[in-house]
A and B are shown apart, each in its own frame.
Chain A
Amino acid sequence: MADFTGESPLASRAGLLAGTSVPGALDIGEIPFLTQIALRVEPEGAAAARVGDALGSPLPGPGASAVAGDLLVLWMGPDEWLVVGEQGRAPDVEEALHKALDGDHGAVVDVSGQRTVVEIAGPRSEEFLNKGCSLDLHPSSFGPGRCAQTLLARTEVTLIRRHGSTPVFWVLVRSSFARHLADWSADAAAEYGGRAALA
């Protein structure tokens, strides 16, 4: 998509997030414009199995995410998933999912603009998130690949712990709430040496 132009929900907060990050402790930044496709399908049916085949990984179960090639599949509810990929993948992912549903009852909706992704990494990230999220984020209960819909800074988010040698979390936040989350982050990171002031 050579001609792509756009302003991500946190474009105006890029400097704030950079200032919020603390070398060796916390690294926060937006990953904008990712493809996000909402998928609804009966989890036990043949269509769900065909979707799994098409993606190259079975649809993940409750509280889990699955890496399927260059896509990430998040469990969002009993018959609901979110397929996340690189920017610009919406048309081909949609087509693949429609093809896999093959007319069976299901829904495929492009919601790429609905949320943006904030990556939070570093040894302090767990403690940082727990300032505004009441889930137990210790690796023994929220290990790599876990996925939850929860509240962070009183904002509805989808939280995932990514695989990695150091802690890495993805927060999917609604576009209209993203700035609030960034502003909260700047405040919450101050004690680790984050030098960003509230916008």
Chain B
Amino acid sequence: MWLVPSPTDSTGDTQYVDLARDTTVADIRRAIGAGMESVEHIKRYTTLSTAHDQGKTSGTLASGVITELLGRSTGEIGTTTFRAPYTPVAFAALAGRERGELYDPVRVTSIHDWHVEQGAPFEDVGQWKRPWYYPRGGEDMEAAVLRECGAVRGGVGIQDVSTLGKIDVQGPDAAEFLDLVYTNRMSTLKVGRVRYGLMCHADGMVFDDGTVARTGEHRYLITTTSGGAAGVLQWLEDWLQTEWPHLRVHLTSVTEHWATIALAGPRSREVLSRVAPGMELDRDEFPFMSWKDGTVAGHGARVFRISFSGELAFEVSVPWWNGREVWEALVEAGEPLGITPYGTETMHVLRAEKGLPIVGQDTDGTVTPYDLGMGWAVSKKKDDFLGKRSFTRADTARTDRKQLVGLLPADPGLVLAEGAQVVEHAELPAPPVPMLGHVTSSYRSAVLERGFALALVESGRDRIGDTVHATAGDRLVAAEITDHVFYDKEGARRDG
């Protein structure tokens, strides 16, 4: 017997034959009612046995049910044509040797083993492993990050930033090309200077950011986000090769030619001067947003005065194979000053205190430079650049778009959840509840001594000072909308 009569279901609507395709006895009855007798026809009519198991779990049962409904013998009806795999294939056979350590390529920097030796847990950024934080003496992540943040704001910290993408851009039309792909102007940059830049897709939405250093009359070194490097290079090559083949520009990836080390904090100059005695490092000789070649710990280095924390900071690039040696020399030189290695989490907190967005965290492909409060990085004078035309589009030009603002929970001890929805009132109205936006970044700040967040909020900039509410578990908590820069608004700290 294949078919058990049901006291409550005379049609077979709830009697399943194929669990993968949701085929029921009622479906088979319908097929037979439509005049089909062959299992092959019934299979195609009902999609029975066509799912990923190719009928392995339903084929026999289906033949039995059809036999019974037609009043014939199983032998007469037969089965559908069996298809490979006839027997189950183990996932291990499909995976082969791509498992465990070999599951996916892992990319490491030249300083990786030092981070491992210090007991740092790692964060995955694309295929890169980046040190997340460096716990000391049984610290949890929060304690370690507060300590690392305090060290950078009050002394000096050191971070491995080798994973940042680096592209050499050269040719007589390099300046014109960069003016087209960045929202701001790069052609006016003087040799020796550095400028922050945003890249937008043609829709005017931010897709990557980084720094642009002019290394020669016709040569630049640009940086990209760690995860975005390959995508940016491909994007730039696409435009060069298909839209602007007349531009004489060549792009070369140099990401792994250089190991790059960030020194950040009011005492970073002191540390660097100990291992780079020949370099003039004071603020007049080596101003913010400039770069210099020099010798660091005995190796040829390119040093940039750029900062992602708002503090006085230097980024030191040396050939990949000297990365660890120079890192250790800097750590040793900084030891008397309490130099503190810091990871990606501390970097994220410090930049959020300064209101600096992380592309891909505070943006999601629907955010313009204006939404980020970075209209200053969009040129009003350039004839054209990728994204420019979209800024005049009605929806993109709306003034009530979601904008990046700060959020300070009324309870200073509270750290909002990233992704938490922002709503107007403490009491939810009947659904649908209007959503004002969401929290994009949220941390506890050592220097602010409280929890703080960045959020994308409708008309956010016009609402600074308003109280809104954010979801926190099953509660709604009050938070004040603030400017997105929480610390050192006037930028007084960057020169140390």
- Residues in chain A within 8 A of chain B (CB atoms): 3, 5-9, 12, 32-33, 38, 40, 105-107, 109-115, 153-155, 174-177, 179-180, 183-184, 187-188, 198
Contact indicator A9/B248 (Cβ below 8 Å): no
**CA A114 to CA B298, docked complex, whole Å:** 21
> Would you give 11 A-B contacts (Cβ < 8 Å), ordered by A?
A6-B325, A9-B110, A40-B250, A105-B172, A107-B171, A109-B168, A113-B258, A114-B253, A174-B256, A175-B320, A180-B105
**CA A184 to CA B96, docked complex, whole Å:** 12
Query: What secondary structure prevails in chain A residues at the interface with B?
Result: mixed
Q: Which of A12, A113, A153, A198 contacts B319 (CB 8 A)?
A: A113
Contact indicator A7/B256 (Cβ below 8 Å): no
Are A105 and B171 CB-contacts (below 8 A) given A40-B250, A113-B258, A183-B101? yes
Contact indicator B324/A112 (Cβ below 8 Å): no
CB of B321 closer than 8 Å to a CB of A: yes
Residues of A within 8 A of B225 (CB): none
Q: Which of B109, B110, B248 contacts A105 (CB 8 A)?
A: B248
Contact indicator A179/B320 (Cβ below 8 Å): no
Residues of A within 8 A of B298 (CB): 3, 5
20 other contacts beyond A175-B256, A176-B108, with CB at 8 A cut-off?
A5-B298, A6-B322, A7-B322, A9-B110, A38-B252, A40-B250, A105-B171, A105-B248, A109-B170, A109-B252, A112-B319, A113-B256, A113-B320, A115-B256, A154-B105, A174-B256, A176-B128, A176-B255, A177-B107, A180-B107
Contact indicator B321/A9 (Cβ below 8 Å): yes
Residues of A within 8 A of B202 (CB): none
CB of B113 closer than 8 Å to a CB of A: yes
Instruction: Tell me the smallest distance from the CB of B245 to a CB of chain A, in Å.
Output: 11
Instruction: Tell me the smallest distance from the CB of A185 to a CB of chain B, in Å.
Output: 10
Instruction: Tell me the smallest distance from the CB of A110 to a CB of chain B, in Å.
Output: 7
CB of B104 closer than 8 Å to a CB of A: yes
Q: Binary interface profile of B, 61-86, with partner A (CB < 8 Å = 1, else 0)?
A: 00000000000000000000000000
Q: Which of B163, B170, B320, B325 contacts A114 (CB 8 A)?
A: B320
Q: Binary interface profile of B, 144-183, with partner A (CB < 8 Å = 1, else 0)?
A: 0000000000000000000100001011100000000000
Instruction: Tell me the smallest distance from the CB of B222 to a CB of chain A, in Å.
Output: 13
Contact indicator A107/B170 (Cβ below 8 Å): yes
Instruction: Tell me the smallest distance from the CB of A138 to a CB of chain B, in Å.
Output: 22
CB of B136 closer than 8 Å to a CB of A: no
Are A155 and B105 CB-contacts (below 8 A) given A111-B254, A112-B257, A114-B257? yes
Contact indicator A5/B101 (Cβ below 8 Å): no
**CA A9 to CA B170, docked complex, whole Å:** 28
Contact indicator B108/A109 (Cβ below 8 Å): no
**CA A188 to CA B168, docked complex, whole Å:** 36
Contact indicator A113/B106 (Cβ below 8 Å): no
Residues of A within 8 A of B257 (CB): 110-114
CB of B97 closer than 8 Å to a CB of A: yes
**CA A106 to CA B255, docked complex, whole Å:** 20
Instruction: Tell me the smallest distance from the CB of A157 to a CB of chain B, in Å.
Output: 11
Contact indicator A8/B321 (Cβ below 8 Å): yes
Residues of A within 8 A of B172 (CB): 105
Contact indicator A9/B250 (Cβ below 8 Å): no
Among residues of A, the one whose C-beta sits closest to the C-beta of B321 is A6
**CA A175 to CA B321, docked complex, whole Å:** 9
**CA A3 to CA B300, docked complex, whole Å:** 12
Among residues of B, the one whose C-beta sits closest to the C-beta of A199 is B101
Instruction: Tell me the smallest distance from the CB of B218 to a CB of chain A, in Å.
Output: 10
CB of B102 closer than 8 Å to a CB of A: yes
Among residues of A, the one whose C-beta sits closest to the C-beta of B171 is A105
Are A183 and B319 CB-contacts (below 8 A) given A111-B254, A176-B128, A188-B97? no
Top 3 A-B pairs ranked by shortest CB distance?
A: A6-B321, A113-B320, A107-B250
Residues of B within 8 A of A110 (CB): 257
Contact indicator A198/B250 (Cβ below 8 Å): no
Instruction: Tell me the smallest distance from the CB of B261 to a CB of chain A, in Å.
Output: 14
Residues of A within 8 A of B248 (CB): 105
Instruction: Tell me the smallest distance from the CB of B114 to a CB of chain A, in Å.
Output: 11
Residues of B within 8 A of A33 (CB): 321
Residues of A within 8 A of B109 (CB): 176
Residues of A within 8 A of B254 (CB): 109, 111, 114
**CA A81 to CA B308, docked complex, whole Å:** 36
Contact indicator A7/B325 (Cβ below 8 Å): yes
**Residue of A32, A110, A114 with most chain B CB atoms under a 10 A cut-off:** A114
Q: Binary interface profile of B, 228-259, with partner A (CB < 8 Å = 1, else 0)?
A: 00000000000000000000101011111111
Contact indicator A175/B110 (Cβ below 8 Å): yes
Instruction: Tell me the smallest distance from the CB of B238 to a CB of chain A, in Å.
Output: 15
Are A180 and B106 CB-contacts (below 8 A) given A38-B252, A109-B168? yes
Contact indicator B102/A187 (Cβ below 8 Å): yes
Instruction: Tell me the smallest distance from the CB of B364 to a CB of chain A, in Å.
Output: 27
Residues of B within 8 A of A5 (CB): 298, 322, 325
Instruction: Tell me the smallest distance from the CB of B162 to a CB of chain A, in Å.
Output: 8
Residues of A within 8 A of B323 (CB): 7
**CA A113 to CA B257, docked complex, whole Å:** 4
Contact indicator B252/A7 (Cβ below 8 Å): no
Instruction: Tell me the smallest distance from the CB of B365 to a CB of chain A, in Å.
Output: 26
Among residues of A, the one whose C-beta sits closest to the C-beta of B320 is A113
Among residues of A, the one whose C-beta sits closest to the C-beta of B111 is A7
Among residues of A, the one whose C-beta sits closest to the C-beta of B248 is A105
Among residues of B, the one whose C-beta sits closest to the C-beta of A105 is B248
Contact indicator B256/A107 (Cβ below 8 Å): no
**CA A28 to CA B485, docked complex, whole Å:** 54
**CA A9 to CA B168, docked complex, whole Å:** 22
**CA A130 to CA B30, docked complex, whole Å:** 53
Residues of A within 8 A of B324 (CB): 7
Instruction: Tell me the smallest distance from the CB of B189 to a CB of chain A, in Å.
Output: 19
Q: Which of A9, A109, A177, A187 contacts B320 (CB 8 A)?
A: A9
Contact indicator A198/B101 (Cβ below 8 Å): yes
Among residues of A, the one whose C-beta sits closest to the C-beta of B319 is A113
Contact indicator A176/B256 (Cβ below 8 Å): yes
Among residues of B, the one whose C-beta sits closest to the C-beta of A78 is B241
